[in-house]
Structure 1
Amino acid sequence: MTPKKVSVEVEGRQLALSNLDKNLYPEFTKGEVIDYYVKIAPVMLPHLTNRPATRIRYPDGIDGGSFFEKNAPAHTPDWIRTQTLPTPGSSKGRTELDFIVIDDLPTLVWCANMAALELHVPQWKVGPRGAVHSPDLMVFDLDPGAPASIAEACEVAHKLRELLADDGLESYPKTSGKKGLHLYVPIKENDRTSEYAKECAERLAASHKDLVVSRMEKRLRKGKIFVDWSQNNPAKTTVAPYSLRAARSPSASTPVTWEELEKSSPGDLTFSPDEVLERVDEHGDLLAPLLDNPQRLP
């Protein structure tokens, strides 16, 4: 039986890992969660670096409830990078919080040990002295309204890809890890991403009224794909590439190819942690262009 606590060294940092045998999913332990994050770190960390992280923690597993954590808890090790950032409109009345920035493997392992199954980040970065940069990513969340499914989301993703290409922008898809898709566009830093993304969603909805909706009201979404442009609001976040998601079986938000979206049936677009690692061995990081291919927003 695994001891309650195990002391390990990760890149020169000492971490006390606890309850590694505890099931965070019905058949997936905290030890397996940490192992996944260690193995996926080489491709995941570049998408987390310099982005303040919101963690969704499941200390008693997916059946035991969860909570969002933006602020660094009091027991955060002093070697973890934190950044004090304004939080206007906070539901708790806080004007600023100390965010954790996951720049290295020890921090990622520490978060996993805290049962932070899901890691969410904004579309902008912070500089080394805390300066908030303009967004360098634009994202669209394609969310199916039942009875529509990820199959219809794939269809809409291709239409949105064409619309963006007409504006000179290349886009890159990943699964949300649940029922939808995310479409990313790497851009040169720009404060107009939310405005432009909204305009794109409205254009797509106008030309495909039977399939696409761009407005937030849930009553409008039945049988359609909601193209959610609102995650470009600087106050919002999107689940990070390769992050686990809370579901009955562990799955991850997984980069995919356009060919896969064209050929796949819905069941083909759910990936277990092992499958994600196998895909990285085969394809490398399909979202690498987000890191080094900034495009000018029209």
Structure 2
Amino acid sequence: MKPMLPSLTFDVPAGKDWMYEVKYDGFRAFLEWDEDIRLTSRNEKSLLEIFPEIHSYLLNNKETFKPYLPLILDGELVSLENTYKANFGSIQIRGRMRSEQRIIEKAKHSPCKLLIFDILKVKGKSLTNEAYTKRKEILEDLFNDINLPTTPDPKSNQLLQLIPPYTSFDEIWEKVVLHDGEGIVAKQLKNKWEEGKRSTLWLKYKNWKYVSCFVTAYEKSNGYFHVAVYNENQIHPIGLFLFGIKPDEKQALAQIIKQNKTGEDQQFTHVEPAICLELKYLEMYEGQMREPHFERFRFDLTPKDCKYEDFIQQQKNLPTDVDITHPNKPLWETPPVKKMDFIHYLREVSPYFLPFLKNRLLTVIRYPHGIFGEAFYQKNCPDYAPDFVSTEVHEGINYIVCNNLKTLLWLGNQISFEFHIPFQTISSNGPSEIVFDLDPPSRDFFHLAIKAANYIKEVLDHLGLISFIKTSGNKGLQVYIPLPENTYTYGDTRLFTEFVAEYLISKEPESFTIERLKKNRGNRLYVDYIQHAEGKTIIAPYSARGNKQATIAAPLFWEEVSEDLRMEDFQVTNMLKRINKHGDPFRSFFQAKEEQNFSPVLEFLKQQK
């Protein structure tokens, strides 16, 4: 099938005749399911071989879908980053894969989602002549009937999810901008689905970024203009553009370049930095602007005003009510990280970070001068905190509860490096997870943490328990066992943590200890099972640490826990590349809470007492 396509608009579609959907950056895909399952691209190429996780998911749920077949769904195949944004770079890498082994590995660690926005056939009946609102109603009923997610959720293990409609443009646009989404598709209420047509009844309105830059060359063969900014005193190319500039403006610009050229070859006419202009684009991908459009000439600027640091800062539409002060303040030296770099890290990692901060009493460690000065703990929310910061009073302390991106970015502007959280949420009656903190005497003995973690994994696997592991970001490792909420007490979990600690000591008493006094531990690893208690805290997954290496409390895949593991491999500067390449090791953490079969283990331990 050929898809119905939206037309690009630079004006906000408004009025009562429109509804709005989030636009996601992925591969347009048709799911056609009769006797066989077909998933095809807009060019009618099969996608099932490249995305086997979708095929497996559908086959595993065949009986659920069976009453609705034959079925045709229209959607977008994405690498979902957050509820409002798909990761373009990740889906592009995936689409180019041809190695079956790499595809299977990627499907396991970073499964893609099929986001559905339209239904063209159900129970063999064509719906293409029905109005958009009717099709959407039928689609929503289908998702509700078979208990599929009715809004995109990157943490869900359900790979088929619904893109819901919104009646208010402003409501959804604020969320798209805040979460750095691609944009919105406005759909006319009564439109019918028209195969192969680019329609003005569907309008795409994009979340543009803006950059001030200067022209460096004109490409003769295709008419593109190449642009750059200054990175200190060096010219830094950022891409090329053609669209958006009027014919007379384009002709005049080409003529000026020709008259003032500094060099010429068969392909390019080069010019010294002089002509400044403003472009809009979606994002940077492989060093180039995606979908750049000319916006206007900037006769008020000189090339020296077109700075790389401004370009980097403008790549993210940060919330206007979060004021980023002193963006160029150095926070770490090796690797070099400025304040704005850290803010960008928090923004990009937020889909993975925020779920662990949600509804937890937060203690932060702030570094007002980066690692170059003194740090201090902060529990009480300061009086100057903005209204969007939620708080919870507990034992006389008015704690911050970091439930949204704005709060996270505000804390980043306060130069809060470390985020420490308790083992339960504000609404939990007991622990939300068990965590073993494996603390070697120094980084020189990190191998003991690796050994202890692997011993624990053997025990947990034998008991049928689901576990996750992360670095502490300093010198140790931390093993997590998710638990269902409001089910167990700290007394219950103490039985288990003590049992595991004693097991480790029985295995290698010369390597492990539960001795509280450091002077009596020697060079043994301390298994801190007492620390897992009400009121105690632990560093949150994906939090930075206040050390010289800018390391992260980094979630790991269990197969990474070997003698090759190094704490310095997980830093503020490389963590996002790691997630994009390998996926999130804690992706299924919250699903595991409901699947965890801890009760039989606990009952056995109680019987031994």
TM-score by length of 2: 0.44
Shift of 1:222: 2.3
CA distance in 2, matches of 1:194, 1:50: 23
In 1, the alpha carbon distance for the partners of 2:558 and 2:317 equals 40
For 1:16, the equivalent position in structure 2 comes to 323
User: How much does 1:162 deviate?
Assistant: 1.6
Cα 1:9–1:71 shift into 2, 3 Å: farther
Q: Does 1:182 align with 2:478?
A: yes
Counterparts of 1:29-40 in structure 2, within 5 Å, are 29-40=338-349
Cα contact 1:136–1:186 (8 A) shared by 2? yes
CA-based RMSD: 2.3
- C-alpha deviation, 1:266, in angstroms: 4.5
Instruction: From the superposition, tell whether residues 16 and 230 of structure 1 become closer, same or farther in structure 2 (CA, over 3 Å).
Output: same
Tell me which structure has the larger Cα radius of gyration: 2
Equivalent position SS for 1:124: coil
In 2, Cα distance between the equivalents of 1:64 and 1:156?
Answer: 34
Q: 3-state SS of the aligned residue for 2:526?
A: strand
Residue number among 531, 554, 575 corresponding to 1:231 in the alignment:
531
Superposition map of 1:78-227 within 5 A: 78-86=387-395, 96-127=396-427, 132-146=428-442, 149-189=445-485, 190-191=488-489, 192-227=492-527
Q: 2:588 aligns with which of 272, 289, 292?
A: 289
> Aligned AA for 2:465?
L
State how far apart, in whole Å, the 1-side matches of 2:536 and 2:443 are. 27
Do the aligned residues in 2 keep the contact of 1:147 with 1:222 (CA within 8 Å)?
no
CA contact (8 A) 1:147 1:223 kept: no
Asked if the contact 1:251–1:272 (Cα under 8 Å) also holds between the matched residues in 2, the reply is yes
Q: CA deviation at 1:146?
A: 4.4
SS in 1 for 2:536: coil
CA contact (8 A) 1:124 1:136 kept: yes
Q: Which SS does the other structure have where 2:420 is aligned?
A: strand
Partner of 1:41: 350
- The code of the aligned residue for 2:383 comes to A
Query: Could you tell me which residue of structure 1 aligns to residue 570 of structure 2?
Result: 271
What SS does the aligned partner of 1:145 have?
Answer: coil
- Identify the residue that residue 362 of structure 2 maps to in structure 1: 53
Pairwise CA distance, 1:65? 0.7
Helix, strand or coil: the match of 1:40? helix
Partner letter of residue 441 of structure 2? G
* Structure 1 unpaired stretches of 5+: 87-95
Instruction: Give the residue type in structure 2 aligned to 1:57.
Output: R
Cα pair distance change 1:245/1:146, threshold 3 Å: closer
Find the aligned partners of 2:385 and 2:364 in 1 and give their Cα distance.
13
Structure 2 Cα separation of the partners of residues 30 and 256 of structure 1: 26
**CA distance in 2: counterparts of 1:81 and 1:9, whole angstroms:** 23
* Deviation of the 1:141 alpha carbon: 0.9
In the alignment, which residue of structure 2 is the partner of 1:92?
Answer: none
May I ask how many residue pairs the two structures share in their alignment?
Answer: 281
Query: Separation in 2 of the partners of 1:147 and 1:276?
Result: 20
Contact 1:186 1:289 in 2 (8 A): no
Equivalent residue number for residue 377 of structure 2: 68
CA distance in 1, matches of 2:458, 2:479: 12
1:216 counterpart SS class = coil
TM superposition shift of 1:239:
0.6
Deviation, 1:267, is: 3.1
Superposition TM-score, scaled by structure 1 size: 0.87
Report the Cα distance in structure 1 between the residues aligned to 2:342 and 2:530, rounded to whole angstroms: 30
Q: Which has the higher contact order (CA 8 A, sep 6+)?
A: 1
Contact 2:367-2:417 at 8 Å conserved across structures = yes
Partner of 2:550: 250
Task: From 380, 386, 396, give the equivalent of 1:77.
Answer: 386
Q: Aligned partners of 1:16, 1:278: CA distance in 2, in Å?
A: 27
Cα deviation for residue 210 of structure 1 reads 1.4
- Asked if the contact 1:122/1:238 (under 8 Å) is kept, the reply is yes
Question: How far apart, in 1, do the equivalents of 2:325 and 2:510 lie?
Answer: 51
Question: 3-state DSSP class of the match of 1:82?
Answer: strand
How far apart are the structure 2 equivalents of 1:147 and 1:279? 22
Residues 367 and 375, structure 2, Cα contact 8 Å, conserved in 1: yes
